[in-house]
Amino acid sequence: MKFFLDTANLDEIREAAQMGVLDGITTNPFLIAKEGAKFEKRIVEICEIVQGPVSAEVTSRDAEEMCRQGHALARLNPWVVVKTPTTKEGLKAARCLIKDGIKVNSTLCFSSSQALLVAKIGASYVSPFVGRLDDVSHQGMDLVREIVTIYRNYSFKTQVLAASIRHSMHVIEAAKAGADIVTMPYKVFDQLFKHPLTEKGQDRFLEDWERVKSLVT
């Protein structure tokens, strides 16, 4: 299972990259705006650190314009994956980009029927939004499970990228569901390391070691 961070913050990205567990990044206009960074410059900076797929989102409702923006984004760096919305126009734009060899991540996916269409046009990634479905009283993870089953039935190559992840249990559930990738905020990434018994156990071992040390010296 690949781990992506859902962030445009360079410190967070560097930290995860240094640990050797970072496979890629997803961004969206909100995350870039939060950093107050210049969009294209920040995407290039992220690609240089990660050396893996970096999703950058188009910002239009019109297929032609999205396709034009997607080409411009793809020219920024070979690691750029163009994020297009899972709408009719978004799929038209995705198709136009894919035929020119540009990788696409179909974002804002909320149903299996949408995911089927995404796979049929040959997108590299589909992003089911788990947390936002949970927010409206649906089991977001059921969608991930259903898409994984459908893609396996037909050996579709599109990778399932579980998105809108809110806590560490989402990461575990996505892994159990067979998602290819999970993209998470840094806060969730940090939660993955934590267990009170690990911290308590380490405190105890270090205290014991102090006692042993004083006996031998």
Task: With beta carbons less than 8 A apart as the criterion, state whether 179 and 152 touch.
Answer: no
Q: Which helix (H) or strand (E) holds 196?
A: helix 196-216
Determine if 158 is a binding residue for ligand E4P (CB under 6 A): no
- Please, what is the Cα angle at 31 between 96 and 146, to 5 degrees? 60
Q: Nearest distance from residue 83's CB to ligand E4P, in Å?
A: 7
Q: Helices 112-120 & 140-154, crossing angle to 10 degrees?
A: 40
Site mask for ligand E4P (CB under 6 A), range 6-45, x = bound: x-------------------x-x-----------------
N- to C-terminal Cα distance for the chain? 47
Q: Which is nearer to ligand E4P, 68 or 167 (CB)?
A: 167
> Which of 2, 83, 176, 213 does the annotation list as catalytic?
83
Q: Identify residue 159 by its one-letter amino acid code.
A: Q
Determine if 129 is a binding residue for ligand E4P (CB under 6 A): yes
Stretch that binds ligand E4P, among 10-18, 129-137, 145-153, 169-177 (CB under 6 A): 129-137
80-85/24-26 β-pairing: unpaired
Q: Which is nearer to ligand E4P, 54 or 155 (CB)?
A: 54
Stretch that binds ligand E4P, among 8-16, 59-67, 127-135, 137-145 (CB under 6 A): 127-135
Stretch that binds ligand E4P, among 58-66, 128-136, 151-159, 189-197 (CB under 6 A): 128-136
Query: Three-state SS string across 85-120, please?
Result: ECCHHHHHHHHHHHCCCCCEEEEEECCHHHHHHHHH
Say whether 88 is catalytic: no
Q: How many residues does the chain have?
A: 217
Task: With beta carbons less than 8 A apart as the criterion, state whether 94 and 121 touch.
Answer: yes
Among 107, 114, 124, 158, binds ligand E4P (CB under 6 A): 107
Q: Which is nearer to ligand E4P, 6 or 119 (CB)?
A: 6
Active site residues: 83
Residues that bind ligand E4P (CB under 6 A): 6, 26, 28, 107, 127, 129, 131-132, 163-164, 183
